[in-house]
Amino acid sequence: MQKSILPHPSAESFAPTSVPLLDVNRGNAALREEFLAAITAVCDSGRFLYGPDVQEFERAAAAICGVRHAIGCASGSDALLLALMAYDIGPGDEVITSSFTFFATASCIWRLGACPVFVDIEPDGFNLDPEQIEAAVTPATKAIIPVHLFGQCADMDAINEIAARHNLKVIEDAAQSIGAEYRARPAGSIGDIGCFSFYPTKNLGGFGDGGMVTTNDDALAEKLRQLAAHGMKPRYYHSMVGINSRLDTIQAAVLNVKLAQLGRWSSQRRANAARYHRLFAEAGLDRSLVMPEELPQRYHVWNQFTIRVPDGNRDSLRARLTEMKIGTEIYYPVPLHQQECFRALGYGAGSLPETELAAREVLSLPIFPELTAAEQELVVARIDEVYHQQRAAA
């Protein structure tokens, strides 16, 4: 019988006995006084919309993303919707995107009456497979939405080359990847428009919903800003029908405090990912599980550390980890092409094999910046314990 390689944590009082998947409060606690001061200043000013904090945040975010323009909006979902609206995408149009992503990536297409066209992913990075995109292009195709999933950019050179050849727009879904890079180019600066989310659990998260669109196109930036304000310019004059999607000043004030910490937090996430790789290798678990990779020419910011659990063992492993008070999550258990609301699109079982396999195998582990080494050791030790028990029972 093979012995477990990692020592299992003791029940001593100083050692962690549980690990949360996320701990937003742990990250916010150190900045509490800065948040209160920033929010108080907004309250005192009375400028709850379009206040100076919004302008400051847009300038700073544009610099980090390497673009001329960053336009705040109400959510990452709205950012995607605004991007499509800016290109007048609607009924009869098709948009190529991933099925292995959060629902908003495709719902924005559907809401405008256009048709999402799902293509398969690359198994090593979970992002769109450029080799599958070409075959999906039709005369109705107007855009591609690559998703920089889990904090790592898609293969943007290949995607941009296809888009240029077919005169398609490229809208980056960078909701999980602010600060990530592809060939030293920041996410959000590589396509025509970048879309970001500031949901509280993101690498840069606010105190509620918030989003941003980025671009280097001056005229497009002006159109995006107008669309986000009911299509109104000047006040009470509407040359287009827009939506109400503003980043409020309190959210911007909070995000300004956090933006100063983004580089440090990204470095901590990267250090945590490196530690996981070392711990899993030391335990020999990298032979039973598939570790996530940082692909060549990428700078991964590890919004998620997502392992693959093969041979149908994912759900049983997760159940045991839940019993052991180890937080995990499945992003995503049902691919979009298999969701009930998209059944009419006609994707059958097996139509996107890599996507469907990933949905059966992926399991995300705690990776937040404040995660301690002892907590990571506990996560890996508990997984090792499960596999040790399985080997003993075999």
- The secondary structure of 94-160 as a DSSP string is EEEEESSS-THHHHHHHHTT-EEEEE-B-TTT-SB-HHHHHHH--TTEEEEE-B-GGG----HHHHH
Residue 298 host element (H or E): strand 298-299
Sequence ranges of the domains in the chain: 29-119+126-259, 263-393
Q: Are 204 and 256 in contact (CB under 8 A)?
A: no
Cα separations in angstroms, 217 against 67, 76, 241: 9, 20, 21
Which residues does residue 186 pair with via DSSP β-bridges, in sequence order?
181
Condensed to tens digits (0 to 9), the pLDDT of residues 278-287 reads 999 999 999 9
DSSP string for 314-366? HHHHHHHHHHTTB--B-S-SS-GGGSGGGGGG-PPTTSSHHHHHHHHHEEEE-
pLDDT at residue 10 greater than cutoff 60: no
Average pLDDT of 95-114?
Answer: 98
Residue 123 has pLDDT above 60, yes or no: yes
CATH fold group of domain 263-393: Aspartate Aminotransferase, domain 1 (3.90.1150)
Above 60 in pLDDT, residue 3?
Answer: no
Cis peptide before 234 (omega within 30 of 0): yes
Whether the per-residue pLDDT at 81 is higher than 90: the answer is: yes
- For residues 385-391, average pLDDT: 89
Share of the chain above pLDDT 90, in %: 94
Cβ atoms of residues 253 and 53 within 8 Å: yes
Average pLDDT, integer, range 126-141: 97
What is the rounded average pLDDT of the residues 54-77? 98
How many angstroms separate the CA atoms of 84 and 175, rounded? Answer: 16
pLDDT of residue 300: 98
What is the DSSP track for 6-74?
SPPPP--TTS-S-B-S--HHHHHHTTHHHHHHHHHHHHHHT--SS-HHHHHHHHHHHHHHT-SEEEEES
Least confident of 4-13, 125-134, 244-253, 325-334: 4-13
* C-alpha dist (Å) from residue 106 to 48, 81, 101, 148, 340: 31, 10, 9, 14, 13
313-331 pLDDT tens trace: 999 999 999 999 999 999 9
Check residue 330 and give its pLDDT. 98
In this prediction, residue 393 carries a pLDDT of 77
Residue 55: the pLDDT is: 97
CATH number, span 29-119+126-259: 3.40.640.10
Mean of pLDDT over the chain: 95
Please give the model's pTM, rounded to 2 decimal places. Answer: 0.94
Angle of helix 249-259 relative to helix 52-65, nearest 10 degrees? Answer: 40
Q: What is the DSSP letter of 286?
A: G
CA angle 69, 73, 76 (to 5 degrees): 100
- Report the pLDDT value the prediction gives residue 390, as an integer from 0 to 100: 82
- Convert the pLDDT of each residue in 11-61 to its tens digit: 334 689 999 999 999 999 999 999 999 999 999 999 999 999 999 999 999
Distances in Å between the Cα of 236 and the Cα atoms of 36, 72, 220, 239, 240 are 35, 21, 21, 10, 12
**40 CB contacts (<8 Å, ≥6 apart)?**
none
The two tokens of residue 344 are 């009419």
pLDDT value at position 394?
A: 66
Measured distance between the N- and C-terminal CA atoms of the chain, rounded to whole angstroms: 9
Does 99 have pLDDT greater than 80? yes
pLDDT of 236 reads: 95
Find the mean pLDDT for residues 177-203: 98
pLDDT value at position 9? 45
Bridging pattern class, strands 362-365 and 305-308: antiparallel
